[in-house]
Structure 1
Amino acid sequence: MSVWLPTAPCTPRDCAGHLGARRAPLPAAVLLTAGCALTLLGVACVPAVLLLGPAHRDRLIRGWAYAVVRAFGVRVRVTGVTAGEGRSPVGELVVANHVSWLDIPLVATVLPARMLAKSEIRTWPLLGPLAALGGTLFIERDRLRALPGAVRALAGALASGSRVAVFPQGSTWCGRSGGGRFRHAAFQAAVDAGAVVRPVRIRYLTAELHPAGAAAFVGEDPLAASLWRVVTAAGLTAEIRVLPPIPAGSEPDRRALARAAQSAVASDSANRPAESVHH
């Protein structure tokens, strides 16, 4: 198997259940319609948004992404370093654990960025066109020969001062365990570009603050089934914690940099501050 094709043991049957309260079909359908409509609106507005200056563009994207997550019936909780700090003066590689399709708009609520994504996402309804118009860097994961070119493209984007978001586990995990290890390739791009790495931890919780399996988008889960599971699961909260940046030059190589970022994300759950921002 190609090293660019990591797999997770998580499956919809074993990991994506919901034991909490459920919404009735009609309210759930309203949320599903609202979420999809806001996503389509984002697709339609991307060309105009790209004409704005970086500060105005980031503010608009954050507001839209937050509205999308809320429209699907999910609360948002932001902790750690907030977006008020603005962009890094150098390129910034945002790295997060990967649980759900919700991760993409969730990261954008705090750190609007270009995405690094598998090429299959280009064909997804709603999210595919939005990703392409938003400058997503697509990777052909089943072609190992394409990996050096993808690293060069990512390094070029970072060297130009862009912020790029990556899910270096390479696959979604249900969030009930530590997940897969961070792959090294994206971190080589950060080293080559002299960028900073911004670790981010994502969790989905029930109203009782237990891990929420309903948000997981794992295995051969159809997107439509995952969308319906999210809108029918009442009391979901998406929590994103933004951790301090790690300069690429602070570690000896890409492997050490990947380990440092993964350690920050994995260990953060045991060292959470009392203060947080609730939305």
Structure 2
Amino acid sequence: MTLTSEHAWLQRATCDASCVHAGADRPGRRWWVAVRTGMRICAAVSLFSCVWLLAVPMPGRWHVQRAYCRLLLRSFGVRISVSGGPIRNLRGVLVVSGHVSWLDIFTIGAVLPGSFVARADLVDWPALGPVVRLMKVIPIDRGSLRRLPAVVQTVAERLGAGHTVVAFPEGTTWCGLGYGRFRPAMFQAAVNARRPVQPLRLTYRHLDGRLSTVPAFVGDDSLMASIRRVVTARRTVCHVGVESLQLPGEDRRDLAARCETAVRGAASAPATAHALAA
């Protein structure tokens, strides 16, 4: 859900409920949609109840985390297509991408698992709170600029210790048709720790290839409404582009710009609402 901000350092997403359109299913098959939805919900609940296993030290834990996230996504009716560079279990890398949905967490977890920088109030969310604590999420109070340096320091320490950290530099969710600028704050952690950044390009599409806003979590949307759209859609495909690894350099703004260009490609200019929707 988008945070409506009174703070100048936070960008405000222009996306709202009008951006989100549920995926159309084949006519005359409502019975199958109901059956499929019920099966998905049962599978998702069963898998979600086992999420605590990811905190147990075990051989091949990185591969187990990836497999678990893929299975959980499949239970929601989401498939992943990965392209670009090879996927390696790199030590001490900052992973960044655009931010569309709560699905982003599991999508990235299926490719490059790590601890996430996420809004602090997630700890208080029903069902998600225990998972957030279990996954050692780094909480950020997006309404408090004075606490930002401490978060950056925490991220730098984890990177320096060889851990993978995932951040969403836009600072809020967008619908997937519009998007925001990458803010440079989190990139300072990579500069301080002298660790590289791995940009990922996430694009959600319908089964027929059209861009999809079904997973979007924006405006006044509720988590349950967003989940309902995803599980009732015929199928959602997330294309994950593994872009070139970026060395930190000395300037966080330059690093942020390079990563944004890698993630957005030729469309890295500021998001002018929904020009991509045409």
Using structure 2 for the length normalisation, give the TM-score. Answer: 0.88
Give the corresponding residue for 1:21: 25
Q: Aligned AA for 1:225?
A: A
Q: In the TM superposition, what are the counterparts of 1:260-275 in structure 2 within 5 Å?
A: 260-267=258-265
Q: Which residue of 2 aligns with 1:152?
A: 153
In the alignment, does 2:206 pair up with 1:206? yes
Q: In the alignment, which residue of structure 1 is the partner of 2:275?
A: none
Q: Which has the higher helix share?
A: 1
1:134 aligns with 2:142: no
Tell me the amino acid that sits aligned with residue 132 of structure 2: A
Q: Give 1:11 deviation, angstroms.
A: 1.1
Number of corresponding residues: 258
Letter in 2 for 1:172: T
Aligned partner of 2:271 in structure 1 is none
Rounded to whole Å, the distance in 2 between the matches of 1:162 and 1:239 is 25
Pick closer, same or farther for the CA change 1:269–1:143 going to 2, 3 Å: closer
Corresponding position: 1:62 with 2:62: no
Q: 2:7 aligns with which of 2, 7, 12?
A: 2
Aligned mates of 2:42, 2:267 — CA distance in 1: 34
- The residue number in structure 1 matching 2:49 is 40
Contact 2:54–2:61 (CA under 8 A) maintained in structure 1 = no
Contact 2:37 2:232 in 1 (8 A): yes
CA distance in 1, matches of 2:181, 2:264: 10
Tell me the residue number matched to 1:192: 192
Between the aligned partners of 2:267 and 2:66, the Cα distance in structure 1 is 24
Which whole-Å CA distance do the structure 1 matches of 2:109 and 2:55 have between them? 17
Q: Which residue of 2 is the match for residue 275 of structure 1?
A: none
Does the Cα contact within 8 Å between 1:181 and 1:262 map onto a contact in 2? Answer: yes
1:20: how far off? Answer: 2.8
Judge conservation of contact 2:96–2:169 (CA < 8 Å) in 1: yes
8 Å Cα contact 2:157-2:193 kept in structure 1 = yes
Task: Give how far 1:269 is off.
Answer: 7.8
Task: Look up the SS of the partner of 2:65 in the other structure.
Answer: helix
Q: Secondary structure at the match of 2:234?
A: coil
Shift of 1:262: 0.3
Instruction: Give the secondary structure class of the aligned counterpart of 2:50.
Output: helix
Q: Deviations over 1:206-225 (max 9, x none)?
A: 12201111111111210000
The answer to whether residue 109 in structure 2 is matched with residue 108 in structure 1 is: yes
Per-residue deviation at 1:125? 2.7
TM-score (norm 1): 0.87
AA partner of residue 17 (structure 1): H
Q: Does 1:31 align with 2:40?
A: yes
- Shift in Å, 1:159: 1.0
How far residue 3 of structure 1 moved from its aligned partner, in angstroms, is 4.3
Pairing 1:75–2:76 present: no
- CA deviations 1:152-185 (Å, max 9, x no partner) are 11111111111100011011111113x1000111
Match of 1:118 in 2: 119
Rounded to whole Å, the distance in 1 between the matches of 2:47 and 2:267 is 32
- How far apart are the structure 2 equivalents of 1:237 and 1:197? 25
Aligned letter for 1:193? A
Matched-pair identity in %: 36
Cross-structure match for 1:276: none
Shift of 1:239: 1.3
Superimposed CA distance per residue, residues 20-64 of structure 1 (whole angstroms, 9 cap, x where no aligned partner) = 32662332132123213212211x31342xx225xx110000000
Residues 77-109 of structure 1, C-alpha deviations (whole Å, 9 max, x = no match)? 1111232x3324xx2000000111100000011
For residue 4 of structure 1, report the CA deviation from its aligned partner: 5.1
Gaps of 5+ in 1: 271-279
Q: What is the rounded CA distance, in whole Å, between the counterparts of 1:194 and 1:30 in structure 2?
A: 46
2:68 partner letter: W
